[in-house]
């Protein structure tokens, strides 16, 4: 306190000296209260700053290199905006892929979900050719934080020993498990189909809920009948839920929905097997998604689609 009082006293003495050595230009008295008002010219005010007796004190430990500068502006872009939204995206981010036996990839997939933000924050993961059967319990292919819904190939109907099957993982931070329901299941020699309805925690006002259809059409299947099945199921759901967001994805091989569902847009533009685009991604929202390939799982090619 003694040092502070001394500094205040020195400052007052200095101000008195400045006022005494710099007379005022004019002196006038207010008509109301009678208090004097001192008026200085601009040159006199500028001249006061030249009478400083010492330089301002700077801490010697303060180095210019230690000062952290703040970058002006802000980062932009779709990925940055989605990262800030976390588990409440405007539209769901979807990872799709042809896994060819999910049991062989479940360890790597679980590790990616645990350590990779792209997998951990994805809303949906839809895989075709899961190669699951009733002999494989869900505990063997479960991923923490995700709800599994699967449609295995019925070997008695297809007369095949293995292969086929589809499954969907729904992020529990994006949608509560109680708000996930299975709308349709189809399995025959031409197609394996699973339809899942999700009502997540956040959705735009224009969208009531999300209906995801995962499809696997074998190379030897009758493409016309398989596409008719997909179109029939989709038209039925559109009649009951006209405000829903529809997503149709999976391994279509030689088939396409461009003729039967012309209002749906195919958003996947990057190759998914070699140089060909076999796994497709249809939606009823124009320009709502874009595709990008990730190769974290080396055995398969996974495509992530974000808004």
Burial bucket for residue 84 (CB in 10 Å: 0-12, 13-18, 19+): exposed
Per-residue pLDDT band at 300 (split at 50, 70, 90): very low
Strand partners, 232: none
Domain boundaries, the chain: 2-66, 81-306
Q: What is the mean pLDDT of the chain?
A: 81
Round to whole Å and give the CA distance between 97 and 115: 19
Q: What is the pLDDT of residue 41?
A: 79
**What six digits make up the tokens of 207?**
């969208």
Round to whole Å and give the CA distance between 179 and 44: 76
**To which residue do tokens 């180095």 refer?**
63
> Model pTM?
0.71
pLDDT tens, residue by residue, 122-172: 899 999 999 998 889 999 999 999 999 999 988 777 767 778 899 999 999
| C-beta separation of 187 from 158 below 8 A | yes
Q: Where are the beta strands (DSSP E) in the chain?
A: 26-29, 36-39, 94-98, 124-128, 146-151, 166-171, 180-187, 192-198, 210-216, 245-251, 265-266, 279-283, 290-294, 302-306
What is the number of other CB atoms lying within 10 angstroms of the CB of residue 180?
18
| C-beta separation of 248 from 213 below 8 A | yes
Q: What is the pLDDT of residue 303?
A: 47
Q: What is the pLDDT of residue 306?
A: 47
The tally of CA atoms less than 13 A away on the side-chain side of residue 134 is 3
Topology of 81-306 in CATH? Deoxyribonuclease I; Chain A (3.60.10)
């Amino acid at each position: 306190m003694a040092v502070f009082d001394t500094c205040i006293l020195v400052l007052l003495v200095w101000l008195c000296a400045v006022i005494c050595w710099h007379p005022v230009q004019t002196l006038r008295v207010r008509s109301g209260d009678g208090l004097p008002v001192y008026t200085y010219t601009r040159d006199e005010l500028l001249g006061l700053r030249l009478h400083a007796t010492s330089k301002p004190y700077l801490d010697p430990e303060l180095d210019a290199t230690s000062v952290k500068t703040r970058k002006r502006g802000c980062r932009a872009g779709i990925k940055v905006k989605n990262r800030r939204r976390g588990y409440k995206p405007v539209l769901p981010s979807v990872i799709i892929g042809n896994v060819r036996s999910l049991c062989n990839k479940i360890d790597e997939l679980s590790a990616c979900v645990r350590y990779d933000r792209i997998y951990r924050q994805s809303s949906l993961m839809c895989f075709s050719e899961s190669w699951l059967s009733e002999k494989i319990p869900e505990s063997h292919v479960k991923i923490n934080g995700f709800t599994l819904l699967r449609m295995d190939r019925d070997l008695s109907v297809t007369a095949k020993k293995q292969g086929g099957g589809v499954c969907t993982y729904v992020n529990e931070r994006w949608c509560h498990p109680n708000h996930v329901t299975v709308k349709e299941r189809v399995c025959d020699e031409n197609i394996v189909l699973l339809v899942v309805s999700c009502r997540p925690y956040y959705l735009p006002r224009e969208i009531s809920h999300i209906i995801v259809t995962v499809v696997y059409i074998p190379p030897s299947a009758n493409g016309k009948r398989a596409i008719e099945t997909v179109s029939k199921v989709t038209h039925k759901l559109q009649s009951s839920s006209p405000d829903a967001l529809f997503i149709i994805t999976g391994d279509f091989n030689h088939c396409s929905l461009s003729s039967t569902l012309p209002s749906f847009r195919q958003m996947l533009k990057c190759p998914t097997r070699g140089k060909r685009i076999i796994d497709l991604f249809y939606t009823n929202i124009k320009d709502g998604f874009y595709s990008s390939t990730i190769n974290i799982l080396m055995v398969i090619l996974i495509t992530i689609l974000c808004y």
